[in-house]
């Protein structure tokens, strides 16, 4: 029977036939009227004559009897057609309801007999086929177009004329420009029948997927339109009917998917007037919605918003179907503004924000990529807008709940040790939310900065913890900290840095006894720290943990400062620490004097204890300050510390003021600390460099005017004549704004530009700053024997990469006999000895007669200093031996080869000493091999034999050194390597395949790479017999070796071999023209 009813509906809604097309040529409206009338007549005729429609006719008559709104005497063709459609729809709904009830009451046993594994379960009778759904869809479209939309008031819903040209024609057809007398009653009838038809779930889908907005518009008009504003001026609905429409709209809005409901309500509410014709169901009318409808839609939207998951429904309604384009981001901002604005229908702003704000925070935790981006954008913009417009509500309902996990880390108690104070998922969500709102939102304000500052210590502690482990929280924590330091005011940022590094009392730090521990999902959780084991005292354990933790926090803080490359904050922090150090230096003498004058015997024990504790606290603060300065100087580049000229000037002010404090505290004349004098000279050279730059403005000289008081003090009180003169000249240049420029300032500026001079001694600095002529070294000789504080501040030049002596290491040939320098090379003072060794190296290099005659003594002296433990001394000796081997190769190389042989039969202590000496001699031989040049084939054969023997040494370090030397030498041997190719190949391939130490295998593969690189196009001639063996060894290493570095070296060597063979097989084509003169 369902098929019969659908067939009847199909007869009523079938398209126009050709006979009717020729009969109605006047207009489209007349043609449509003819078809509607003809189809209705055809349906009534088929119901009366066709026996297949007998059951349909009976059920239709029953429905017609119960439908008190049906009138067969109406002369309106369209309404007659709509009545027939409504009757058939109700007939179908009643039949499906009966069949569905019978299907549900079918005994389970009889149904079970029909069920087998191969048979699908029976379908409910309300399941319609695709063609049947298409037929019902056409009928519903006729009902809505002819019986509902034309009777809506102006501005209510989307008119048919704005949907399509056919809709405009239908709208004119229904009432022809006049208002029907029974418009309200017809609208009520159509809407009521559609709601009855939609009581079945399967039929409701057909109605509401395409006509929900029209049904909602009709219900709103029928239930809420004020009296007298309708299109019908004669007939009105009763109060009961209007109330039923109100209840129906509320029931309908509660059943349908909420984003769809909100979207339709927004369309009903209307928007700004738009010009032009808008096509589509979502278009807005050119006439705005009436005030009562706007108010009603606003109230309904507010109810949808304030219900559970209402915020998510609003966001989905507006953003669903977006593509992430710029228009979608603008929609996100618009939605955020909607959420922040409290609706007028709300009882109070407090209740509204209390209900909506948690849902806004919930938008931050979606997993779907596109949805998460849009929802996070809405949530971020909503939070930021609310912070600006409603800061009190934002603090209470947004920021406080969001930051609660971090606040709990500071207020946790140890009542329950078994449970974590903050769980991993809570901490993860909190950190990610802070990152999204503060960093991604990137809308700095004093309110947000203050809220973040309260939990910044906990975030920094978490960041330090993540630096020790692999955690996904490291990057967001780092970005949050960098964002705060970049956007906070300088004073607040400096105060925060002081707290984080321990120079100032920390606020809102981790609760006592609690720390972060790794979570199971790569995050972290806050839990109670277990007490130390009974093996070690708890006090010692806690002290060690605290000291290690402070050092690690300081290193992490410096790493953060290193990321602020474009900020002046690291430089300002560094200068503030220097100023504090200067102030402490100034008050140190007074404190020491006060402590000496303190009468302890007249004090109580409590006062003595307080005095001692105060002194310990002050000393601890100073130690922390020095530690922070040391770590910053060691880890940060000068461009980060002093990136601006003003910061350089501030740095020089601190440096000169500290020097003046040292002069004021001096009680008797002294030569002073040479390191401090050298630092002061370099600092003033830096000032001279600044002054020697491009033309300075008046503001630059104004900032440099702060240097005048300390420069004046130095020019009057410093003990060094050169420093006094340099300070006086700098002061004069600053005062005259560069009009006066002494000659010695040019040399001082040149010295400060040369990075090598930063490691020179006080003698060399003073000599350069005074521009003493070549050969005059009396000033150097005056201070050459001053002891240095450490071996690193040597009295000579520095060793550059590759072992070459810096050009400024020995600025002139000292006026001292050769025997004196030999004695200096045996001096126990490390800087003096190192400087003497470098002078002797220069004498050997310049082939002075004394050095040539005493080359044996010089060789012994270098060999003895080779065993010295200080790196500055033995590096100077290595450089001297390399120069000796270059100057007198045959004799010196033979002696060095004897010392290179490592004797494994020595005792343990002697063996270690012999091993160190062997490695140092290996470095000498490597430098000598590089310096041989074209003499390598002549001088290298003895070295190759010794290096091949060294590859069999029991110590792997010697084997690595021998292979390195072998590679450096072989790449320079050219054709002389031919007779040794077989032996060399056997040695290297055996080491690659059998050696256990990865470093040795790396060196062996590197030998082949250097060999191929050195021979280049000669490879096939020199290594023709062993080339296949080397290739197989490299392939084996690249495919089978467990060490990644060996594999990398092997692949690089294979690339070298590939280039060689390509050039051999495909030689470069040279366009040459040969001219042969015939005899």
Q: Please provide the size of the chain in residues.
A: 1079
Taking 60 as the threshold, does the pLDDT of residue 364 lie above it?
yes
Residues 6+ apart with CB under 8 A from 302: 343, 345, 346
Instruction: Classify residue 563 by burial, with Cβ atoms within 10 Å: 0-12, 13-18, 19+.
Output: middle
Give the pLDDT of residue 269.
83
The tens digit of pLDDT for each residue in 554-595 reads 888 888 888 887 888 888 888 888 888 777 766 666 666 666
Q: Average pLDDT in the 1020-1031 region?
A: 82
Q: Which of 27-41, 770-784, 790-804 has the highest mean pLDDT?
A: 27-41
737-761 average pLDDT score: 56
Q: Which pLDDT belongs to residue 528?
A: 80
| 3-class state of residue 805 by DSSP | strand
Out of 175-184, 959-968, 992-1001, least confident range: 175-184
CA atoms within 13 A on the CB side of 234: 5
| pLDDT tens-place string over residues 445-501 | 899 999 999 999 999 999 999 988 888 999 999 999 999 999 999 889 989 888 888
Secondary structure (3-state) at 381: helix
- pLDDT greater at residue 435 or residue 719: 435
Q: How far apart are CA 349 and CA 308, in angstroms?
A: 17
List of residues 6+ apart from 1022 with CB closer than 8 A: 974, 975, 977, 978, 981, 1015
Res 321: pLDDT: 62
Q: How confident is the model over 339-346, as a mean pLDDT? A: 80
825: nearest Cα among 790, 774, 776, 859: 859
b/e map 831-859, b = 16+ CB within 10 Å: bbbbbbbbbbbbbbbeeeeebeebbeebb
| Residue-level pLDDT at 647 | 76
Convert the pLDDT of each residue in 290-316 to its tens digit.
Answer: 888 888 888 888 888 888 888 888 888
- At 785 the pLDDT is 30
The most confident of 338-347, 666-675, 996-1005, by mean pLDDT: 996-1005
Instruction: Provide the pLDDT for residue 745.
Output: 66
Which pLDDT belongs to residue 980? Answer: 78
This prediction has a pTM of 0.61
The Cα-based distances of 181 to 225, 567, 1048 in angstroms read 17, 77, 92
Highest mean pLDDT: which range of 111-120, 814-823, 846-855: 846-855
How many Å apart are CA 145 and CA 174, to the nearest integer? Answer: 9
Helices (H), 846-870: 849-853, 855-865
Question: How far is it, in rounded angstroms, from Cα 641 to Cα 655?
Answer: 15
Q: Residues 6 or more apart from 710 whose CB is under 8 A from it?
A: 653, 656, 657, 659, 660
Tokens describing residue 60: 């239709």
DSSP annotation of 439? I
Percent of the chain with pLDDT over 90: 5
Residues 431 and 428: their CA atoms lie apart, in Å, by 5
What 3-state class would DSSP assign to 180?
Answer: coil
Neighbouring CB atoms inside 10 A of 594's CB total: 10
How far are the Cα atoms of 769, 828, 859, 875, 879 from residue 814, in angstroms, in the given order? 18, 20, 21, 22, 20
Contacts of 789 (CB under 8 A, 6+ apart): 673, 675
Contacts of residue 638, defined as CB under 8 A and 6 or more positions apart, other chains included, come to none
**Going by C-beta distance under 8 Å and a sequence separation of 6 or more, which residues neighbour residue 925?**
885, 893, 896, 897, 900, 943, 965
pLDDT attached to residue 431 = 93
Q: What is the pLDDT of residue 480?
A: 93
pLDDT value, residue 482: 92
C-alpha 386/C-alpha 392 separation (Å) is: 9
Percent of the chain at pLDDT > 70 equals: 78
- Between 441-450, 814-823, 1003-1012, 1067-1076, the lowest mean confidence (pLDDT) is in 814-823
Higher-pLDDT residue of 778, 847 = 847
Band the pLDDT of 429: cuts 50, 70, 90. very high
Out of 203-207, 429-433, 581-585, give the one with best mean pLDDT: 429-433
The mean pLDDT value for 381-394 works out to 90
Going by pLDDT thresholds of 50, 70 and 90, the confidence category of residue 706 is confident
Mean pLDDT of 14-32: 61
The SS3 call for residue 574 is helix
Q: What is the pLDDT of residue 181?
A: 60
Number of neighbours of residue 866 by Cβ within 10 angstroms: 22
d(CA 554, CA 351): 46
pLDDT value of residue 763: 32
Closest CA to 237 of 195, 199, 191: 191
Backbone angles phi and psi of 304, in degrees to 5: -65, -40
Rounded Cα distance between 147 and 277, Å, is 23
CB 298 within 8 A of CB 344: yes
Which whole number is the average pLDDT over 180-187?
76
Better-scored residue on pLDDT, 26 or 844: 844
């Amino acid at each position: 029977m369902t098929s019969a009813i659908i067939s009847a509906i199909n007869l009523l809604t079938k398209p126009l036939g050709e006979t009717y097309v020729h009969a109605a040529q006047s207009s489209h409206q007349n043609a449509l009227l003819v078809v509607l009338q003809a189809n209705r007549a055809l349906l009534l005729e088929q119901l009366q004559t066709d026996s297949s429609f007998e059951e349909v006719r009976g059920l239709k008559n029953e429905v017609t009897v119960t439908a008190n709104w049906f009138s067969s005497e109406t002369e309106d063709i369209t309404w007659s057609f709509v009545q027939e459609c409504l009757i058939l729809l109700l007939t179908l709904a009643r039949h499906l309801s009966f069949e569905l009830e019978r299907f549900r009451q079918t005994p389970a046993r009889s149904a079970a007999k029909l069920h087998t594994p191969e048979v699908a379960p029976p379908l409910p009778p309300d399941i319609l086929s695709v063609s049947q759904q298409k037929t019902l869809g056409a009928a519903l479209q006729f009902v809505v177009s002819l019986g509902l939309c034309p009777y809506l008031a102006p501005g209510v819903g989307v008119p048919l004329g704005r949907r399509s040209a056919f809709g405009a024609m239908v709208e004119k057809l229904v009432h022809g420009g006049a208002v029907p007398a029974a418009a309200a009653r017809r609208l009520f009838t159509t809407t009521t029948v559609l709601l009855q038809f939609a009581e079945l779930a399967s039929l409701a889908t057909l109605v509401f997927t395409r006509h929900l907005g029209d049904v909602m518009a009709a219900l709103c008009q029928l239930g809420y339109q004020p009296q007298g504003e309708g299109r019908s001026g004669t007939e009105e609905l009763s109060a009961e009917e209007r109330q039923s429409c109100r209840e129906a709209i509320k029931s309908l809005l509660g059943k349908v998917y909420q984003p769809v409901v909100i979207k339709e309500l927004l369309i009903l509410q209307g928007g700004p007037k738009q010009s032009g014709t808008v096509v589509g169901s979502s278009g807005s009318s050119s006439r705005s919605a009436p005030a009562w409808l706007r108010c009603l839609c606003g109230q309904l939207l507010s109810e949808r918003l304030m219900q559970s998951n209402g915020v998510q429904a609003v966001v989905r309604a507006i953003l669903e179907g977006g593509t992430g384009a710029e228009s979608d981001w603008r929609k996100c901002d618009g939605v955020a503004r909607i959420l922040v604005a409290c609706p007028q229908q709300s009882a109070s702003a407090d209740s509204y924000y209390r209900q909506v704000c948690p849902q806004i925070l919930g938008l931050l935790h979606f997993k779907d990529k596109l949805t998460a981006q849009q929802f996070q954008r809405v949530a971020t913009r909503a939070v930021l807008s609310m912070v600006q417009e409603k800061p009190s509500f934002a603090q209470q309902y947004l920021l406080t709940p969001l930051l609660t996990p971090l606040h709990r880390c500071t207020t946790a108690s140890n009542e329950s040790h078994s449970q974590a104070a903050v769980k991993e998922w809570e901490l993860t969500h909190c950190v990610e939310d802070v990152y999204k709102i503060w960093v991604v939102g990137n809308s700095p304000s004093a309110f947000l900065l203050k809220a973040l500052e309260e939990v910044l210590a906990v975030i920094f502690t978490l960041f330090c913890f993540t630096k020790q482990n692999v955690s996904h929280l490291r990057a967001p924590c780092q970005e949050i900290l960098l964002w705060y330091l970049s956007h906070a005011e300088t004073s607040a940022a400096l105060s925060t840095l002081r707290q984080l590094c321990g120079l100032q009392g920390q606020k809102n730090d981790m609760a006592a006894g609690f720390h972060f521990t790794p979570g199971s999902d790569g995050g972290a959780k806050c839990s109670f720290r277990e007490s130390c084991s009974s093996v070690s005292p708890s006090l010692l354990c806690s002290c060690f943990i605290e000291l290690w933790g402070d050092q690690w926090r300081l290193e992490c803080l410096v790493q953060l400062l290193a990321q602020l490359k474009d900020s002046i904050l690291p430089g300002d922090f560094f200068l503030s620490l220097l100023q504090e150090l200067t102030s402490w230096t100034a008050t140190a003498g007074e404190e020491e004097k006060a402590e000496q004058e303190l009468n302890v015997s007249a004090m109580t024990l409590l006062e003595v204890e307080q005095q001692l504790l105060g002194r310990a606290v002050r000393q601890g603060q100073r130690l922390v300050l020095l530690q922070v300065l040391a770590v910053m100087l060691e880890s940060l580049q000068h461009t980060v510390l002093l990136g601006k000229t003003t910061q350089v000037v501030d740095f020089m002010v601190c440096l000169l003021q500290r020097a003046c404090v040292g002069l004021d505290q001096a009680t008797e004349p002294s030569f002073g600390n040479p390191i401090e004098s050298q630092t002061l000279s370099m600092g003033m050279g830096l000032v001279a460099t600044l002054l020697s730059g491009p033309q300075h403005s008046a503001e630059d000289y104004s900032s440099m005017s702060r240097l005048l008081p300390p420069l004046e003090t130095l020019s009057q009180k410093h003990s060094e004549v050169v420093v006094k003169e340099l300070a006086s000249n700098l002061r004069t240049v600053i005062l005259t704004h560069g009009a006066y420029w002494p000659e010695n300032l040019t040399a001082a500026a040149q010295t400060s530009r040369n990075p090598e001079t930063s490691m020179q001694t006080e003698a060399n600095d003073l000599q350069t700053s005074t521009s003493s002529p070549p050969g005059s070294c009396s000033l150097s000789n005056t201070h050459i024997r001053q002891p240095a504080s450490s071996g690193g501040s040597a009295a000579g030049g520095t060793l550059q990469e590759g072992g070459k002596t810096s050009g400024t290491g020995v600025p002139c040939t000292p006026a001292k006999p050769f025997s004196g320098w030999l004695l200096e090379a045996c001096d126990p003072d490390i800087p003096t000895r190192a400087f003497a060794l470098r002078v002797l190296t220069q004498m050997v290099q310049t082939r002075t007669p004394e050095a040539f005659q005493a080359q044996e003594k010089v060789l012994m002296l270098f060999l003895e200093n080779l065993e010295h433990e200080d790196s500055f001394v033995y590096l100077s000796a290595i450089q001297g031996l390399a120069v000796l081997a270059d100057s007198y190769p045959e004799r010196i190389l033979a002696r060095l080869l004897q010392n290179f042989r490592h004797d494994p039969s020595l005792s343990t202590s002697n063996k270690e000493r012999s091993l160190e000496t062997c490695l140092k001699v290996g470095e000498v031989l490597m430098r000598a091999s590089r310096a041989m040049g074209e003499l390598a084939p002549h001088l290298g054969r003895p070295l190759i034999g010794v290096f091949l023997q060294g590859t069999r040494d029991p110590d792997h370090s010697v084997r690595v050194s021998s292979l390195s030397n072998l590679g450096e030498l072989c790449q320079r041997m050219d054709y002389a390597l031919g007779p040794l190719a077989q032996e060399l190949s056997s040695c290297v391939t055996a080491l690659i395949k059998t050696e256990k130490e990865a470093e040795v295998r790396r060196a062996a593969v590197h030998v082949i790479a250097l060999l191929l690189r050195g021979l280049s196009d000669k490879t096939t001639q020199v290594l023709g017999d062993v080339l296949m063996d080397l290739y197989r060894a490299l392939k084996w290493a690249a495919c089978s070796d467990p060490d990644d570095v060996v594999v990398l070296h092997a692949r690089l060597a294979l690339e070298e071999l590939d280039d060689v063979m390509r050039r051999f097989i495909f030689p470069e084509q040279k366009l040459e023209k040969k001219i042969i003169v015939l005899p």
